[in-house]
Structure 1
Amino acid sequence: MSRVGHPTVPEPPRPGMFSNARVVGRHFFVSGMHAGTPEGPVGGGDVYRQAREAFRRTRVLVEACGAQVDDILALRIYVTDIADKAAVGRARAEVFRGDFPCSTLVEVSALVEGGLGVEVEAQGIISATATADA
């Protein structure tokens, strides 16, 4: 098992609290990514821009795990307002093409930091796409 990070993704606030990403065998797991920064969310209150940043962070962590975005098999997306699903879907469509991952989108009352409207969690198998094509 290995813990994975990336210099463009903020580390957890307290060491040992959780990992941004883990690899176990060929399986990878990415914790919920959001657009939070100490100065406030990337994109401010614009949930589309927040979603783009959450997906960017997810992508770079997946790649740091040795996988590709197409190797993501399951997504869980949390929004604080279900009315934002179209904006999040627009950002999601910029990332995924072809065989889409299984996906869940749910509304929650709040996320870890004030002002956040979306959080994305992912898991998959390294080289899943290559295996599926063989």
Structure 2
Amino acid sequence: MSICKNSERAPLPVGLYPHARQVGDLWFLSGVGPRKKDSKEIPGVTLKEDGSIASYDIEAQCHSVFQNVKMILEDIGSDWSKLVDVTVFLTNMKDDFKTFNRIYADYFKENQPCRTTVEVNALPTPIAIELKCVAEV
């Protein structure tokens, strides 16, 4: 049996899926981006009139996505220290990986989950980073 949950504080998913699903002793989080709840604002992103990205600040997006993951974990009854696996999707590995890696190290000093980082061509909204996480209950 599994349980699906959503956070009241994190941005709504952009499709028909929950923020998290519990299976056994693990929580599987759906992809989490840096968007703000109840807003079209994406921290660090400036959009053109056509909705495409004019410029972005990967540092601002990193802090925001980590905050969104933290809120979801807290709202489902888990926490940051219980993360066991993180998959990172970056749209520009060449320019953003070094900054992302530095910020990641600040957030994961105590807990060091397994991690995979991949570059993708695009994400569903005009963002430069998304995380897919697994945490203990």
Residue 90 of structure 2 corresponds to 79
Q: 1:64 aligns with which of 61, 72, 75?
A: 75
% identical aligned pairs:
24
CA distance in 1, matches of 2:116, 2:20: 19
Residue 55 of structure 1 corresponds to 66
Letter in 2 for 1:52: H
Q: Deviations over 1:17-55 (max 9, x none)?
A: 111111223210111111135534222211111111111
Residue 3 of structure 1 corresponds to 4
TM-score by length of 2: 0.80
Structure 1, unmatched stretches of 5+, are 127-134
Q: Which runs of 4+ in 1 moved over 2 A?
A: 36-40
TM-score by length of 1: 0.82
Residue 97 of structure 1 corresponds to 109
State the SS of the aligned residue for 1:41: coil
State the SS of the aligned residue for 1:76: strand
1:106 aligns with 2:107: no
Q: Deviations over 1:97-130 (max 9, x none)?
A: 234100000111001112x11111100212xxxx
Aligned residues: 123
Structure 2, unmatched stretches of 5+, are 46-55
Residue 88 of structure 1 corresponds to 100
Cα RMSD, aligned residues only: 1.7
